[in-house]
Amino acid sequence: MPSGTIRYWAAAKAAAGTAEERYEAATLAAALDGARAHRSDRPEFARVLLRCSFLVDGEQVGARPHESVELREGSTVEVLPPFAGGAR
């Protein structure tokens, strides 16, 4: 089973209560399911994940189903909540 790192940013970091953690999972969906299971006492974490975008090894996941995003040994998953600001 591949293992790697999940890094949380901004609101995702606050909801997770940590900046990063290890995962053991073959897909992005499985890694996120594991993270949710570890934080079943933090319902806000699951809500924040629904609004996040994800990078795997620097590549944007976009609209791809998370079950189809394969993780390799040593992969890094970046969890990016929506950011405020920008041009008006």
Rounded to whole angstroms, how far apart are CA atoms 13 and 71? 21
Whole-prediction pTM value? Answer: 0.90
Q: How many residues does the chain have?
A: 88
Please compute Rg for the chain using Cα positions: 13
Kindly list the distances between the CA atom of residue 4 and the CA atoms of 1, 27, 35, 43, in Å, as whole numbers in the listed order: 10, 11, 13, 24
Q: Parallel, antiparallel, or unpaired: how do β-strands 53-56 and 59-60 relate?
A: antiparallel
Write the class of the CATH domain 3-80. Answer: alpha beta
- In the chain, what are the domain boundaries? 3-80
Per residue in 7-66, pLDDT tens?
999 999 999 999 999 999 999 999 999 999 999 999 999 999 999 999 999 999 999 999
